[in-house]
Structure 1
């Protein structure tokens, strides 16, 4: 039974969603083109498009130029424990709070990218430089092995970082990565702060992460401050599709919230 008050596009979206979930439309296949699909369902083109766009906003399909709406592989949702501890692995170097699990292999999608490009406003403000100043960006798209792209990570390095530690601009900076090279160049110990927000992706981010521009993303920005200059020297921006991650924190009781509740002294 369906509610006659429910918009037709919602009914259509539910029908297509069921076909995606039961495997009728498998990951990587295109949904029927809008015009013939609308004619078959006896609805207008715009009604059918609204149904497909609803599925796109749920992260089930993605609009691909000259192809139409393509079914996406269902990603697993991962829990990120938002601790404040930065660990160190003898093989990898510093390890920040993330969604990885111990000994879990991750892979890189495409080729890691590094180049001197104009700094966006947010990064420029952190580094104390003018927006548009060309600085080094290291970019990679990664995921657990065998899964679709999970995160896009951009590391922006200040001009001082590249001058003092030229190896940070090399394809492989060596054991411990660019952070070890910075600390060896007397910027250590680096201290970090993190900001988390939710926003919509731009087209390039959506394409690299194979999601719709209608899918919100979780953005974390970590700013590393040099012990030598007391100024930010590196900014790492990580973006993760909103349907692939959930944040988890252990809540602690303050003394004022202890149990049993302390008796209230009568007033005199």
Structure 2
């Protein structure tokens, strides 16, 4: 009896051979069952296996599609902030990326951990700005970024809640308002993608997202928390490893000789 993994391997080979176009759904389960001469359940498990591996992604009633190949090279985030004529950016490999779709601004309740980072009470409303970005020719985003700003600050600086915040975006407006530079601190983690992220990033339920939580401070005051999510298999984090004083060279034993 043919197992679902063997069927999945055969489907993968057909995908790599270009049997089906990436802009249209692959054949339905019944057609796959006939093509590979297996039970319907086996064909279905094979497809779900490839979804979990990130080879395919589901768009509900629209069908199951071949996931486009990863861009080359994979974007590597480092520990620097950069600036060009448009303002600050954090990924050199994504410098030319632009918004995909229409960004949104709304007042809402942030996740509890974000509220704690912002220094606002649990359940307290904040300004939430959502933005999706990708390469200039992207048909779907590769990053989802959500900024959370305390309403007390938005009251002082209403442009933070506007659709258009002017050259340099909210970071330039914040630095102009305080007359001081922003300092950033990032934490990188991963977790399973939620339903919204799976649909927007076109990834299967089995693939995690890399989550970069960036805390923006001016003079020790937290002015924004940004949470950026991206497919974990298409991004990397790169940073130099620096020696602590305990690891200095020459080593103590050699210095005393």
Q: Could you say what secondary structure the match of 1:15 adopts? A: helix
Out of 183, 188, 191, the position equivalent to 2:180 is: 188
CA offset digits 1:142-197 (Å, max 9, x no partner): 11122342100111111122012111111111122111211222273222211000
For residue 37 of structure 1, what is the aligned residue in structure 2? Answer: 32
Distance change >3 Å, CA 260–CA 180, structure 1 → 2: closer
CA offset digits 1:22-62 (Å, max 9, x no partner): 21122122222113422443433332222111211222211
CA offset digits 1:214-233 (Å, max 9, x no partner): 21110000011232xx3312
For residues 257 and 27 of structure 1, the distance between their equivalents in structure 2, rounded to whole angstroms, comes to 53
Unaligned segments of structure 2, at least 5 residues: none
| Pair 1:93 & 2:91 matched | no
* 1:235 positional shift: 0.5
Moved more, 213-222 or 59-68: 59-68
Q: Could you say what secondary structure the match of 1:24 adopts? A: coil
Alignment check: 8 A CA contact 1:28 1:73 kept: no
For residues 65 and 136 of structure 2, the distance between their equivalents in structure 1, rounded to whole angstroms, comes to 22
Out of 71, 75, 82, the position equivalent to 1:79 is: 75
Out of 151, 157, 177, the position equivalent to 1:159 is: 151
TM-score normalised by structure 2 residue count = 0.87
Distance change >3 Å, CA 260–CA 223, structure 1 → 2: closer
* 1:66 positional shift: 1.8
* 1:16 positional shift: 0.8
Count residues in correspondence: 254
Distance change >3 Å, CA 99–CA 237, structure 1 → 2: farther
RMSD: 2.7
* 1:264 positional shift: 10
For residue 225 of structure 2, what is the aligned residue in structure 1? Answer: 235
For residues 244 and 233 of structure 1, the distance between their equivalents in structure 2, rounded to whole angstroms, comes to 30
For residues 107 and 248 of structure 1, the distance between their equivalents in structure 2, rounded to whole angstroms, comes to 22
For residue 58 of structure 1, what is the aligned residue in structure 2? Answer: 53
Alignment check: 8 A CA contact 2:76 2:237 kept: yes
Alignment check: 8 A CA contact 1:219 1:238 kept: yes
Unaligned segments of structure 1, at least 5 residues: none
